[in-house]
């Protein structure tokens, strides 16, 4: 159990790295483009993940994971004030909050109970829930980046096998 927190931090870090590798391969225009009314812009996914992580991991052990200052609905809108840099700054704030909180946790904290939207969860349950949520959105994000990237795509994981001649 003593390895749980460092392992979770490593997995979150790998998801962050995967997403940022995909984001590096798209233009600013692609960052804000939608593929239809049912497909969010990449910027919206980035904005949502950053906002979610900041809310969930701020004062993690002592306050509800849904903070009163979070504007969740606003995470799903692109405003004139949103630039790629500002959206990415929110992403960075969310991950910085997550990693600082994980670093502060002790093995004794793992069995404590916290709340997220009034639902009681153990720290392990809340951590697994946050990791699954983040991984889900990183999958969306990398897929959309691959669709919208111009030129050759640099594989972020093991590339598919090449056809034999």
Query: pLDDT (tens digit, 9 = 90+) per residue, 128-149?
Result: 999 999 999 999 999 999 999 9
3-state secondary structure (DSSP) of residue 119 = strand
Residues in the chain: 165
What average pLDDT score do residues 33-51 get? 96
Average pLDDT, the chain: 95
Q: What pLDDT, on a 0 to 100 scale, did the predictor assign at position 129?
A: 97
What pTM value is reported for the model? 0.93
More confident residue, 2 or 13: 13
Give the Cα separation of 108 and 18 in Å (integer): 31
What average pLDDT score do residues 82-107 get? 98
Give the Cα separation of 149 and 82 in Å (integer): 21
Of the pLDDT bands very low, low, confident and very high (cuts 50, 70, 90), residue 160 is confident
Angle at 149 between CA 165 and CA 141, to 5 degrees: 110
Q: What pLDDT, on a 0 to 100 scale, did the predictor assign at position 115?
A: 97
- In the DSSP assignment, the letter for residue 68 is T
Least confident of 23-37, 87-101, 107-121, 150-164: 150-164
The number of C-alpha atoms within 13 Å of 104 and in the hemisphere containing its C-beta is 11
What average pLDDT score do residues 9-17 get? 98
pLDDT at 163 over 70: no
Domains in the chain with CATH codes = 4-148 (1.20.120.450)
Chain position carrying tokens 């997995």: 11
pLDDT at 164 over 70: no
């Amino acid at each position: 159990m003593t390895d749980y927190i460092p392992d979770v931090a490593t997995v979150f870090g790998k998801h962050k790295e995967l997403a940022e590798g995909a984001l590096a391969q798209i233009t600013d225009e692609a960052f804000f483009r939608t593929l239809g009314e049912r497909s969010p812009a990449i910027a919206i996914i980035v904005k949502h993940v950053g906002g979610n992580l900041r809310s969930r991991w701020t004062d993690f052990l002592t306050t509800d994971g849904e903070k009163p200052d979070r504007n969740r609905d606003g995470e799903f809108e692109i405003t004139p004030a949103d630039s790629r840099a500002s959206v990415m700054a929110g992403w960075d704030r969310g991950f910085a909050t997550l990693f600082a909180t994980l670093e502060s946790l002790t093995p004794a904290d793992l069995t404590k109970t916290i709340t997220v939207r009034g639902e009681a969860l153990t720290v392990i349950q809340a951590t697994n829930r946050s990791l699954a949520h983040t991984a889900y959105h990183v999958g969306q994000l990398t897929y959309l980046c691959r669709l919208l990237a111009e030129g050759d795509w640099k594989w972020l994981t093991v590339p598919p096998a090449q056809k034999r001649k």
